Structure 1
């Protein structure tokens, strides 16, 4: 008996659901469809009308405005944070540009300094070459002089200069010049020349 009651109760529930669908839901859908069809044929945009009506309902308008206000505040916060980030990045870029400009100026200064030093080195090399040539000419002049004339001149020079010239004379000329010097001076120069070669 319980089974039949349960079965009967289930049939009643399904029959109520079926009745609801057949008597209320399907006719409602049909009416909505017909209403949309008639409105479209008459040139009425149903969705715009629905929007206008929803804007007139206070609760929906408040909810919509509240969401929009929240979004606006959220977007403004994002804009402010992004503006701050952009300003930070711009400051970093300006700082890096300044550092780069300073590095470029320093590099240019160093290149100019290097060129100046290279020019000075070249000038000093030329002077050194000229001095060597002039010194060789002096040595060759002393070699071409007679030992009798060369010895007194060397004796009048400072000791450093005399040793420098004597050390560059060829062996034969040196021997002849030392012969024409007083023995004590010749011995002194000989000792200095020996010390200079060692």
Structure 2
């Protein structure tokens, strides 16, 4: 064989290879979804005049589908977020209601505490007034009355008196009762 025949056979084989490769390539491009291809490869194919139309056709159909899919996904995400917001709002309302109840309870307790404090202040003032009455009495007369009281009552009144008045009354009382009262006064 001559070299020109060999060259001609090589050129014919190369042309047949290119035609086969091109036909296979076109077939593959038509059957493959372009959204699944590498984006850089799709850009390259769009630059080639023969493949540009094939890619456009495939990508335009897929673009519509993918945009619809994206829109559906976004709507689903939005609905999920809205549901989450509603749940959080409901939780916040429950917590706010619980907080308001606790605040109401606290206000009631504070009012009851203020009332008790006022009663104690009045009671304390009454005891001080009673103590001042006993201080004005003769110690022997006051001692007779204290002998009839309970130790706790006597201690409450005596603890609001001057030391001199206390000692005068205790000295006029029965010794046993005076001793009990003195012990309680010492523990204050």
Q: Secondary structure at 1:168's aligned position in 2?
A: coil
1:124-143, Cα deviation, whole Å (9 max, x unpaired): 22112111111111111211
Residue 118 and residue 190 in structure 1: after superposition, are their counterparts in 2 closer, same or farther (change >3 A)? closer
* Count of aligned pairs between the two proteins: 136
User: 2-side partners of 1:69 and 1:161: how far apart?
Assistant: 100
SS of the equivalent of 1:93 reads helix
Q: Which structure is larger by alpha-carbon Rg, 1 or 2?
A: 1
Number of the residue aligned with 1:172: 164
Partner Cα distance (1:65, 1:78) in 2 = 20
Whole-Å separation in 1 of the counterparts to 2:172 and 2:56: 125
Residue 133 of structure 1 aligns to a residue whose secondary structure is helix
- The answer for the alignment partner of 1:54 in structure 2 is none
Q: Which residue of 1 aligns with 2:100?
A: 108
Deviating above 6 A after TM superposition, structure 1's stretches of 4 or more consecutive aligned residues are 62-65
Q: Which runs of 5+ in 2 are unaligned?
A: 1-53
RMSD: 2.6
Structure 1 residues 186 and 75: CA distance shift in structure 2, 3 A: closer
| Distance of aligned partners of 1:69 and 1:144 in 2 relative to their CA distance in 1, 3 Å threshold | same
TM-score, normalising length from structure 1? 0.59
Q: Which runs of 5+ in 1 are unaligned?
A: 1-61
Q: 2:69 aligns with which of 61, 72, 77?
A: 77
The residue that corresponds to 1:153 in the other structure is 145
The answer to whether the aligner puts 1:117 opposite 2:117 as a matched pair is no
Give the structure, 1 or 2, with the largest relative contact order (CA under 8 Å, sep 6 or more): 2
Q: TM-score, normalised by structure 2?
A: 0.61
Is 2:187 aligned against 1:196?
yes
Residues 81 and 190 (structure 1 numbering): CA distance in 2 closer, same or farther, change over 3 Å? closer
